[in-house]
Amino acid sequence: MSLDIRLFHDALAAHDVRFDGVFFVGVTSTRIYCRPICRVRAPKAVNCRFFDTAQQAEQAGFRPCLRCRPELAPGNAPVDDAQRIASLIVRRLEDGQLGDEAGLEAVATQFELSSRQIRRIVRRELGVAPIQLLLTRRLLLAKQLLTETTLPMTEIAFASGFASVRRFNDAFVRRYRMPPSRLRQRIAEEPAAATGETSTLQLAYRPPYDWSSLLEFLAARVLAGVEQVSDRSYARTVRLGTAKGWIRVTQAKKRDALLVEFTHTLTPVLPALLARLRALFDLDARPDIISARLAGDRLLARAVKANAGLRVPGAFDGFEIGLRAILGQQVTVKAATKIASRLVEAFGEPMTTEIEGLTRLTPTAAQMAHATVDDIARHGVVQSRARSIIGLAKAYDAGELSLDGGTHRDPADAIARLAELPGIGPWTAHYLAMRAIRWPDAFPKEDIAVRNSLGGVTPREAEAMSERWRPWRSYAVMHLWRIGAVPALTRR
């Protein structure tokens, strides 16, 4: 079995949405081809043929799957910009920026289409009308708030995006055939209590989960004023649109879940908040499949066993991680974090919280785009990197660049676009692909710690060695960073 077949089959078995549109699989026993996210049981590797495009699969004599519909895979929709439009609408739904017909009209205007065309595209791409997609997301959030918090029914209705309690009740009865008050009464366990100005929700994950290692990683890079990390929790200030507040995340004791305490000022943007936290803590990973692949490598076997459930920390804010990545070029983590904290103190908006140490909001792209090179350089940033920060901020603020996970359908293209920005080299682009774009197969081969863990090899040699870890090289990098101080592992 070739290396390519092995790595593609591993990605197929994971049903990981991050590989959707990257490749297609044809099953020789059925002569049907599917997307890697198809929920049917993964066929044996010997019965699989893998293709870069749906067209290649059809030319080889395979028929499209009627369940996963390969023609709707990202980058393969029959209408120009269709997937991009659908993805934009989903992101705006999650960010709370699309709540009525006016929102659809704005999207239609942006793409120079009619609202009717927008509705047709969304139905084709996502299988439902925009209004149904919006309603489903509102009801699912309401259901979670009903079962996990003691927020008043009125607050739940508005936090979920409904214009009135009456509309909330009507929609809930139609969909679930019971009033929302009955659902709350039927919960066997007491919901998490709302304490003062906060409530708590849970975010589930697949075990095992190396919570302590993730906190250790974040603690080494903590932004003073914005973040606070202890050996048990992660807390930070939050700004999403006009909503401001703070969150604190801990690990549940008896469930495979994280507990998110959030201020009620953030309830209007809960979908966006929870989506960003799932990305930050890599909650959608399949540790069983990833570890099974990496544990078979002699170099990584001991590390994988010692750090079961190791995750790739994501990014809560795309511009924030981009700023920090630029500052991290050719300096230590400690030095980069210190400089980043100075910029927070200089440009971050002051904020009062009940958590000691959380006193600032992270600087926005708009704020940094209006700064001068001298404004940034006076805080210990060399001028070349100050110019890179301003260039990144302007591109991000103008909407020319996105560092949000799930918005890039071609990881290689996204990495290449990042590398085209002034001051963004291959290391920075792949680091951002790992943490911001959430690409599981990114590999910053120039990273000195990675190369040292591999025995002091060159970047080209590191790239060659990494082929055996595909398609989970981002996770291999995390293990290499952890074993970098144990030379015995590289000598064996």
Residue from 92, 94, 74 nearest 83 by CA: 74
Q: How far are the Cα atoms of 51, 294, 298, 445 from residue 489, in angstroms, in the given order?
A: 36, 15, 9, 19
| Full-model pTM | 0.76
DSSP per residue over 258-294, as a string?
Answer: EEEEEEGGGGGGHHHHHHHHHHHTTTT--HHHHHHHH
Cβ atoms within 10 A of the Cβ of 13, count? Answer: 18
447 noted as active-site residue: yes
Predicted confidence band at 178 (pLDDT cuts at 50, 70, 90)? confident
Instruction: Give the lowest-confidence range in 108-117, 151-160, 201-210, 286-295.
Output: 108-117
Tokens 């023609």, located at residue: 71
Question: What would the pLDDT profile of 139-156 be if each residue is shown by its tens digit?
Answer: 878 888 888 888 888 888
Q: Name the residue with higher pLDDT: 84 or 146.
A: 146
- Sheet containing 257-263: order of strands: 198-204, 257-263, 243-251, 233-240, 227-229
State the alpha helices, DSSP H only, in 383-455: 383-397, 411-420, 426-435, 448-453
Catalytic choice (10, 16, 20, 34): 34
- How far is the C-alpha of 483 from the C-alpha of 490, rounded, in Å? 9
Nearest to 261 by CA among 180, 252, 139, 253: 252
pLDDT, residue 83, reads 56
More confident residue, 133 or 436: 436
Domain ranges in the chain are: 3-72, 82-127
pLDDT digits (tens, 9 = 90+) for 292-308: 889 989 999 999 999 99
Contact 275, 96 (CB under 8 A): no
pLDDT at 260 over 70: yes
Closest CA to 73 of 86, 60, 63: 86
* pLDDT score at 188: 39
Q: Active site includes 297?
A: no
Marked catalytic residue, from 16, 282, 404, 447: 447
Confidence of residue 469 (pLDDT cuts 50, 70, 90): very high
**pLDDT at residue 106, as a whole number:** 65
Q: Using the predicted structure, report yes or no on whether residue 492 has a pLDDT greater than 60.
A: no
Q: Which superfamily, per CATH, for 3-72?
A: DNA Methylphosphotriester Repair Domain (3.40.10.10)
Given this model, what pLDDT does residue 304 score? 93
pLDDT in tens, 381-411: 999 999 999 999 998 888 888 787 655 556 7
